[in-house]
Amino acid sequence: MAIGPTPKPGIMAIRPYQGGAAVISGQSQPTKLSSNENPRGSGEKAVAAFRAASASLHRYPTSHMPLRNAIAKTHGLDVDKIICGAGSDEVITFLCQAYAGPGDEVIHTEHGFLMYRISCLAAGAMPVEVPEHKRVVDVEAILAACTDHTRLIFVANPANPTGTMISDADVEKLAKGKPHQTILVLDGAYAEYVDGFDGGVRAVQAFENVVMTRTFSKIYGLGGLRIGWGYGPKEIIDVLDRVRGPFNLSQCQLDTAQAAVFDQGYVDQCRVENARLRDWLRKELAGLGVPSDQSFANFVLPRFANQTEAEACDVHLQKQGLIVRRVNGYKLPNCLRITVGDEQSCRRVIDAIASFKETTR
């Protein structure tokens, strides 16, 4: 019997990524709190730009330069060190595609974003999982895991799904201590939720072989358009541009993201409101006997007594029309990740968990 085509090593070891659920059987309009989306939606200026761009759907997209210039101006960056992708996921894929392959190792942490492992395996490299310390990235453990074969280190800061952060001092220790041939990738998907945080800009500028990634999916409310970007040494960005498709972003994406990045007033409003409700959620959860770490993102990660209780609470929330995220795949089976929604949604979550706790006493 003839043997058919076989995929590259590593491909079949990938467990396809599954996004947060969006439907509940039997419920027509559930409240989705499973994907860390902005409950306020997109800013008015971004929506207007998207509508205007729809008039030219028959045209191929033009240069990324206007969006790159907008990002550079807003964040005080060198435009020649910026690359744009279909979400920061695509920039992560570029990095693995360009710098990792058979015989190479890619480090990610115990509860790290699942796309790090997926992109590593797709490139044919070997993922190396490093333990965290109480759901916080452990820099010493990462450095101890580095070898001559380490090509990439992925660290989300703030992290998903834990919401925790490491300090600038820890980032510096990691950037200085990693092997010379290794690229440190600082995933800043949730950076805008931390007031005054640069997401890794200073590390990129101060140390060798450090790259930062960012996204428009979270605080900008553009998850449905898939737009992200990266910032790093010009030599690395030049390499990534060589594997990037010439039309990886549509004109609608480019124009909408450009309008969004210039609308920092909207970003500030979203940050303030998210912090208020996030802190309220944590306080109320603690009062119900459900602790959570301090979160620096737009979600909280309450910890239940065990997996059974967490899953029972999830079922109870679904009956109330609330969709949250189980995080068993992140090795946190006793936790549920809950997006910070609008005030009504947050109050519904607390009421539902309170009633769940009452029924289990």
CATH code for the domain in which residue 283 is found? 3.90.1150.10
Residue range 201-213: mean pLDDT, rounded: 97
On whether both 107 and 33 belong to a single domain, the answer is no
Domain final residue, candidates 200, 232, 262:
262
On whether both 34 and 160 belong to a single domain, the answer is no
CA dist 53 → 38, 220, 227, 244, 285 (Å): 22, 18, 15, 23, 43
Confidence of residue 2 (pLDDT cuts 50, 70, 90): low
Query: Looking at residue 328, what DSSP letter applies?
Result: G
Q: Copy the structure tokens of residue 248.
A: 């990886």
Say if residue 1's pLDDT is above 70: no
In a domain, 7, yes or no: no
Q: What is the mean pLDDT of the chain?
A: 96
Count of all residues that appear for the chain in the document: 361
> Domain tally for the chain?
2
User: Which helix or strand (DSSP H or E) is residue 50 part of?
Assistant: helix 44-53
On whether both 212 and 279 belong to a single domain, the answer is no
On whether both 241 and 290 belong to a single domain, the answer is no
Give CA–CA dist 109/258, Å, rounded.
Answer: 33
On whether both 235 and 272 belong to a single domain, the answer is no
Strand pairing report for 82-85 and 183-187: unpaired
Domain final residue, candidates 226, 244, 262:
262
On whether both 203 and 252 belong to a single domain, the answer is yes
Supply the range of the domain harboring residue 94.
Answer: 44-262
Given this model, what pLDDT does residue 205 score?
96
Give just the sign of the alpha carbon dihedral 201, 205, 208, 209: positive
Give CA–CA dist 100/346, Å, rounded.
Answer: 42
Give CA–CA dist 288/116, Å, rounded.
Answer: 35
Say if residue 361's pLDDT is above 70: yes
Residue range 167-190: mean pLDDT, rounded: 97
For residue 342, count other CB atoms closer than 10 A to its CB: 14
* Pair 311, 343: CB distance under 8 Å: no
User: Which helix or strand (DSSP H or E) is residue 186 part of?
Assistant: strand 183-187
In a domain, 13, yes or no: no
Given this model, what pLDDT does residue 237 score?
98
User: Residues 6 or more apart from 60 whose CB is under 8 A from it?
Assistant: 247, 251
Domain final residue, candidates 262, 279, 301:
262
CA dist 167 → 15, 107, 170 (Å): 32, 19, 5
**pTM as predicted:** 0.95
* Pair 338, 285: CB distance under 8 Å: no
Residue 93 sits at the vertex; the CA angle it makes with 155 and 257, to the nearest 5 degrees, is: 85
Q: Copy the structure tokens of residue 221.
A: 């409310």
Give CA–CA dist 54/34, Å, rounded.
Answer: 29
On whether both 93 and 230 belong to a single domain, the answer is yes
* Pair 330, 114: CB distance under 8 Å: yes
pLDDT tens string 306-345: 999 999 999 999 999 999 999 999 999 999 999 999 999 9
